[in-house]
Amino acid sequence: MGEHRHGGSHEDAPPPRDPVTGLREPAGQGEVADHHGTAERLTTLLLLQERDRLSTRARDLQVVLAGTHSSARRRSLAHEIDDVADRLDEVADALDVVADRRDRAAEARDTRAVGRDAFARLSPHLPAERGAGAIERHHAAVARDWAASDRQEAREDRRRAASARRDAAAARRQAALLLRSDDGGGTPEERDDGTRDARVRPVAPVDPPL
C-alpha cells in the first residue's frame, strides 16, 4: 500500500498519512491529527460570528428605519439593509464552500478505508506484513468514523448557510414592508426640510351643516 516499510515490523512504520491533508493519523487512536479539519472548524466559527453580527445589524437598522420620518434617510437605511443582506448571502455561500470541502474529505477518507481493508485482507499472505491486518482494519474504521463526522459537519454547515439566507431574505422583506408603510408615524408627510410630501394633498375645511 506504500504506507508500510517492508523488511521491518509494522509497529516501526510511520502512521499513515491523511490523503486530503498529507498529515499523519496516529496509530491506535480514535482521532485524526487533522489540522485541515481544525482549520475548517475555525472557518465555520468565524463565519457564524459574522452571520450573527450581520443579523443583529440588520435588525438594528430595521428598528431605526421604523422610527425615521425622513424619506431620504429611510431610503438610505433600506439600501444599507440590502447591503447587509448581500453580505449575509456571501456568508451563506462561504459556509456552502466549507461544506463541499468536508464532503470531499469524507469521500477521500472512505476511499482510504477501502484500501486499508483490502490491504488487511492481503496481509496474511505477505510475510513482511503478517499481523498488520488488525491494525489496518482499525485504521479503516477510524477513517470511516471521521468520514461520517465530516458529513455530519457538512450537513450542519449547509443548515447554517440556509439560516443565513433566511436572515437575508427576512431583512430585505422587512425593509420593503417598512418603506411601503407610512413614513414612520408622527407627521409622516413632513420632510426634514419642512416641505410637505408631494403625495399628501391639503384638504379644504368642510363647513359644519346648518
Helix axes 133-180, 71-122, angle to 10 degrees: 170
pLDDT of the residue at 206: 41
Q: Judge whether 186 lies within some domain.
A: no
pLDDT of the residue at 63: 94
> How much is the mean pLDDT over the chain?
74
Q: Which range is most confident: 8-12, 113-117, 180-184?
A: 113-117
Count of domains forming the chain: 1
Residue type, 66: A
Read off the pLDDT band of 190 (50, 70, 90): very low
Q: Judge whether 202 lies within some domain.
A: no
Q: Judge whether 47 lies within some domain.
A: yes
Task: Report the percent of the chain where pLDDT is more than 90.
Answer: 41
- Give the residue with greater pLDDT, 34 vs 145: 145
* Residue 210 clears pLDDT 50, i.e. is over it: no
Q: Judge whether 4 lies within some domain.
A: no
Q: Judge whether 12 lies within some domain.
A: no
* Residue 100 clears pLDDT 90, i.e. is over it: yes
Q: Judge whether 21 lies within some domain.
A: no
pLDDT of the residue at 124: 64
Q: Which range is most confident: 26-30, 105-109, 125-129?
A: 105-109
pTM of the model: 0.63
Out of 79-93, 105-119, 182-196, least confident range: 182-196
Q: Judge whether 192 lies within some domain.
A: no
Tell me which residue range forms the domain holding 170.
33-180
DSSP state of 172: H
pLDDT of the residue at 85: 97
Cβ atoms of 196 and 185 closer than 8 Å: no
Rounded mean pLDDT, 61-65? 94
Backbone conformation region of residue 131, classed left if phi is above 0, alpha if psi is from -120 to 50, else beta: left
Read off the pLDDT band of 125 (50, 70, 90): low
Q: Judge whether 147 lies within some domain.
A: yes
